[in-house]
Each structure stands twice: as C-alpha cells, then as structure tokens.
Structure 1
Amino acid sequence: MEHRMGSDGGDNVAQVPRVLRLPGVYRPQEDTALLVEAVRGLRMTADTAVLDVCTGSGAVALAAASAGSRNVTAVDISLASVWSARCNAWLRGYRCLDVRRADITGFRFGGRFNLIVCNPPYVPTPSSARTRGADRAWNAGPSGRALLDPLCRSLPSMLADGGRLLMVQSECADIDRTVAELAQRCADARVVARRRIPFGRIMSDRTGYLGGAGLLPDLPDGRNTPSEEIAVIEAVAAVRWPALEPAESPSALRG
C-alpha cells in the first residue's frame, strides 16, 4: 500500500486529498483534481446524499465528506479499490463514508442522490488489449465509451429532484457526446470545467492507436507535445413537483 499521490501533474494534483493505495488502484491525477475542485465548489449540508462512482482510492468521496456531507456512498468494481477507499475513510475518521463493491451499470440503490460524482475509465483501447487488474481503471473500449455510455443512461435515474451529476473525461472519448447523452435525460447538461494536460504514460503509449482511430486531439498552436483536454460535465435533474402536496426542498445541495 502506497502513501503518495504520484502523478505527472503538479500543483493541481497536490490539492487532492492524500490517499493510501493498494497495488493496482488508480492513482489520483489531473482528472481527479479537476473533479475534486468542482465538488469543493458546491455547498453541501450533512444531509446531502452523495454517490461516488468508480471511486478508486476514494479521493473524490473524501472531498465530498470534507465539504460537509455526512451521507456519502462510494462504489467500485475493484476489490482493491474498495479496501483502499475504506482505509482512507477510516484514517480520516469519516464513518459516514459507505464503500461498496458493485458493478454500477447493474446495481440499484434504494434511494436517490443529491450529488453523483464519477471519474470512469475513458481511455480508448484496442479491442485486442487486455482489460483486467489495474487496466480496468482506464481501458474503455475502442472509442473510450464502453462505460461512459451506460453510465450516461443509468446515472440520471439515480438523481433526486434537482440533483447534480459531475462526470470527468477526456476529449479523446468525445465530450460533446456525453453532454448530448445527459441532456436527453436531465433538465440541463454542460461543461463546467476544462483543463489541457500533457499526455501521461497510458495515453502516450496509445498515440499510434488514437491516430489510426481518428481520436488523436489536434495539437494547440505553438505546441509540439501531444496533449488532451479533460472536462467536468455537469447534468442537473429536473424537479418533479408533487401534484397535491406542498413541495419540500428538492435537494439538500446548493451551489
């Protein structure tokens, strides 16, 4: 188990909660940092129900707990990630953080959430590549949307009235498509944060595949190093007012 952030990123990643990681657990990086910033920009109460999907080390769930929520659920299909997130919650004294092992595309919860956060695998991957162990943290099928598409279909139904979904991804996996998919199922969907970062090791290793598949981003003017834009997409659920009874506050979340 490691006690380090370890990333190609710099000051941005340093703002992410320090975490312990079992081998094979996703290392918090620039996408984690951008999502954590978005979470910290929201005002929460102790009753704000939060779901962290693909929690990894639990860094984003920890950020939600530190922002005030005392009702945080975190899920991941990786057992090593589940134990890492549980350990990090315990070390910080967040007994409110419930970490579960689950395949979110087929799992159903009893209630709805005021805030759902998600940093899913989104790296375009040749169909011949293996996807097991640590590779599950980033491998996402030929277009990078093997998990993004089912999440866009399933997560909006888990939102409470007026609830928010925050999802981070790379432009290599088609940000506009995610916005369009979520807009079909929510009252509003838009990009709320962007950041351009150099390719890390995994993306650099995939440069040839990305170019052949037409997924390699254009180089910005004056730059010769391959880079990608990462973005946080926000989707807001509609408020369904009851027909007969006075409406209560649609969400404990304000931001």
Structure 2
Amino acid sequence: MAPADTVRPGSALAADPGLAATLAAAIPPLQAAAASGGRDAKRALANAVDTYSLLAALPWQRMTYRIGHWASEANTWKALLTFDAWESYRWQRNEERFQVLDPHGGQRLGELYTQAELRRLNGGPYAAPEVLGPPGGTLEFAGDPATIGVYRPPGGAAGAIRLTWNPYLNHEVLRDGIKALREGAADRLPPPYQFVDWDLLDKYRVWFTESRDKPAGKAPWAAEARLYRPGGPPQFGKSR
C-alpha cells in the first residue's frame, strides 16, 4: 500500500512510477519491524517515509559535488608536550562531509554528511555504503542542499538513494520541514534556520578537488573555525 502522500506533478515520483512503487513496497516491512523493534528499526522506517515524501513532493535536480578534504585539526597532545598551541595544528584527511555545488558557477549550495559519518553517529539505519566517490562528480538531489534531502548517482535505482542533512543543523528540526511537505502544509522545504559561514570553514580546508595530496607546509591556525558552531550549540541527547 502506497503512503498517503500526494505525488505532485513534476516530482521525482511522478516522473518515475516504477520508483514510486518500489519505495512504497519497502515501507510495510519496515513498519512491521518498527512496531516491535528498537530505535534503529524506527529510524529506518522514518528514513524510508521521509525519502518517499521528499520524492513525492520535489523533483530530482542534477548538481555537482566534491567529497573529502584536508582539514587543519588540533592535535592536543602535541600542544601539551611542546607548550606551543600553534604546533598543535596539523593537516588531517577528512571524508565525513561532501559539498553540493551549482553545476553552472560552482557556488557552494550546502554541505552534508556522508553515509560513513551518519553510520558512525547513528548506527544501523545508515549501513548502506556511500554512493559518491572522491574527489567529486555529478549527482541528483531532491530537497534543499543547504538543509536536508536525498541523493543518488544520476539515474540510480531505488537502492542507490541516500538520505543526508547539514552537519551544523539539528536533523529533527529539519525533518519537520519534510513532515510539512507530507501533510500538504508546504510546497517546499524551509530555508536554513541559521547562517553557515562556508568561507570561514573552507579557509582552513583543502578539498580533494584542489589537491589529493596533503598540502605542503604547516597547517594554519584554525581555532576560529574549530570553535565556530553554526546552528547554535547541539541539543542534549540529539545529534546534528
């Protein structure tokens, strides 16, 4: 039985009835598992329902992405040994995030969790492997790359669709926007509720699209980026 969402004209599911049927068929078994299961089973169901709702309301958009970067990260033990805070910064490889870019001008549209990082933070519901590879390429995205959405390789099947969200915003708040789509109370997702300063964050990062090798020289003093918390402090008991 298909979810109660209205499949809107022009949406991803309106354009691909086969995808709509596949996603709808996956939900009843997840509902049965969630009825007697724990947190992971309930989250897996919520992910499937939110994925269906996004694709029932919004179209796929083809965009570019870049994944993985070198980050200037603090090395606390070295600072303690040398009594030199500057020495505590080093270049460290990071593949926990990817950025979605405007395919025409290259403007940063948002930054999102990779599946490996979601799995580290939230476990089983994110066991599926990442479908994007470094350093970058093309994807299809439905949602708002500044907040939350689903993505896949261009033309990918249902099993290649992944849910993700902005690391600096609380995912429970963002999912309220999907609920509004599902209930017909909104035509689009709300904009980010906090400004994220990508210029500041990228000042201390080198994306693999710029260099697959560790940057030469000492990592810059990155305290202002490390301590910067766009979106406000994390809420107790809730991951971003």
Q: TM-score range by the shorter chain?
A: under 0.3
Task: Report the TM-score, using the length of structure 1 for normalisation.
Answer: 0.26
Structure in which a larger fraction of residues adopt helix: 2
Structure with the greater alpha carbon radius of gyration: 2
